[in-house]
Structure 1
C-alpha cells in the first residue's frame, strides 16, 4: 500500500513537471531577448512641456501603459485672452507627472508606421507657474496651475532595431481655470474657453529591454 502511494506521488509530480515544461517558452537563437518576458521600455523625451523620462509597459500587443515625468517648460511667449483683456504669458516653471493608456488598433497592419501608431488617453498632474504681462500700462501678474488635467493624444513608436526605437506624440490637455492674479489689483482673472486647451508635442528615444 505504501509503495502504491509512493508511485502515485511520483506520477503526479512527473505530470506537473511535464506540464510546467510544456508551458515554458522555448527561446532559440541569438535574437531572443528579455522582452519576451519583460515587455518594458524606457524613454528620454523633450517637447513643449520640457524634458523628462518615461517608463512604458506593453501589457498586450494592443495595449500599453506609460508613466512619465517632465520638468522645466521650454520658454516661449503666448498671447492669451482673459476676462480682463489680453496678456502675454511667459513660461517660468513647469512640472508634470502623467499616466496614460495607449491603444494600438492597427498592430496587425503590415506597415511599420501603422502598426507602431497608437491613441493615448490619460491624465497628468500639471504644476505650472507663468508670469503675465499686459499690453498696456505695464500691468503684470501671475498664473498658477496645480491640478489634474485629462489628456488625449496620437503617437507613433517604431523600433529601429533589437532594442532601440523612437517616439513622436502630439496631444492636448484640458485645463480647468488656473489661479490668476494681477499684482497691481486684487481682481481675479479667468481664461477664455479656447485657452483652456493646452496642446503639447514631444519627441523621444526609446530603449526596449
Structure 2
C-alpha cells in the first residue's frame, strides 16, 4: 500500500508540474467590456483539517494550481466506535501543507457558478493527531466485544504523522464581485492506516482479570489500526477568496 501511495503522489505532482509550466499568462472574462485580471487569488479557509489559507494561480480558464496551509484544532469527529467501545476524539491538526491542481470542466461557460466548479487532484503533507478517551456508563465498558466494569478510563492516540498523502476532491469558488468570492470543497486524502496506541491504568472490578482486560485492549488497538475505513481521511472546507 505504501508503494501504491507513493506512485499516486508522484503522478499527481507530475501532473501539477505540467500544469504550472503552461503558457497562459492571464484570464480574460467577457462582460459589457473585456477585463484582464492577474490570474492570482488568495483564500482564507477553515474545515476538517484546520484553518489557514491558500494561494491559487489560474493558468487558464480550465486549470488552476493551489498551494495552501492548514493548522489549528477543529473537532469535527465526535467519536469513533470499534468492537463495542466508543471513544471521544480530540483532534490536533499540527501542520498540513497541500498542493493541488484544479480542473474546471466548464471553464468557458457563461454561467458564473458552472465555470467555478472544479475537480482537485494533488498531495499533502499531513501531521494530524487524535487523542482518544473511552466512553463508559457507570464504569461499564466493552473492549474487544467483552464487557468489563472498571474504575478509570481508557486513553490513547491515533496519528496520521509525517505522511505525504494523495488527494482528490471537488469544489467551487464563484466570484460575487470583481474581486471577492466564496469557496467550498470536499474530498479525501489516502493516508493508509494510522498508528494507534491505547493505554489504561483502570482497576477491573468485574468481567475478567486485569490481564484479560489488557489483552483485549491490545486487540482493540490493532483492530482500529487496521480498519480499512481509516485509510481515507475525509476533508471539507469553506472560505472567502480575493482575486487580485
TM range (shorter): 0.7 to 0.9
Aligned counterparts, 1:1-209, within 5 A: 32=35, 35=37, 38-81=38-81, 87-135=87-135, 136=141, 137=150, 138-146=153-161, 147-184=163-200, 187=218, 189=222, 190-209=225-244
Q: Is the 8 A contact 1:81 1:191 kept in 2?
A: no
Q: Is the 8 A contact 1:83 1:192 kept in 2?
A: no
Q: Is the 8 A contact 2:104 2:118 kept in 1?
A: yes
Q: The residue matched to 1:113 in structure 2 has which SS?
A: helix
Instruction: Name the structure 1 match of 2:24.
Output: none
**Separation (CA, whole Å) in 1 of partners of 2:187 and 2:194:** 20
Cα deviation 1:45-94 (Å, max 9, x = unaligned): 11122210100001121111000001113124433355896533221343
**Post-superposition offset of 1:202:** 1.1
Cα deviation 1:134-159 (Å, max 9, x = unaligned): 34241111112121111111111111
What 5-or-longer segments of structure 1 have no aligned partner?
Answer: 1-29
Q: Is the 8 A contact 2:192 2:230 kept in 1?
A: no
Q: Is the 8 A contact 1:113 1:156 kept in 2?
A: yes
Aligned length: 177
**Separation (CA, whole Å) in 1 of partners of 2:180 and 2:124:** 26
User: What TM-score comes out, normalization by structure 1 length?
Assistant: 0.75
Q: Is the 8 A contact 1:76 1:90 kept in 2?
A: no
**Post-superposition offset of 1:167:** 0.9
What 5-or-longer segments of structure 2 have no aligned partner?
Answer: 1-32, 136-140, 142-149, 201-213
Q: Is the 8 A contact 1:81 1:192 kept in 2?
A: no
User: What TM-score comes out, normalization by structure 2 length?
Assistant: 0.65
CA root-mean-square deviation: 2.4
Q: 1:109/1:73 Cα in 2 relative to 1: closer, same or farther (>3 Å)?
A: same
**Separation (CA, whole Å) in 2 of partners of 1:200 and 1:73:** 14
**Separation (CA, whole Å) in 1 of partners of 2:234 and 2:159:** 17
**Separation (CA, whole Å) in 1 of partners of 2:160 and 2:117:** 31
Q: Is the 8 A contact 2:194 2:231 kept in 1?
A: no
CA radius of gyration, larger in: 1
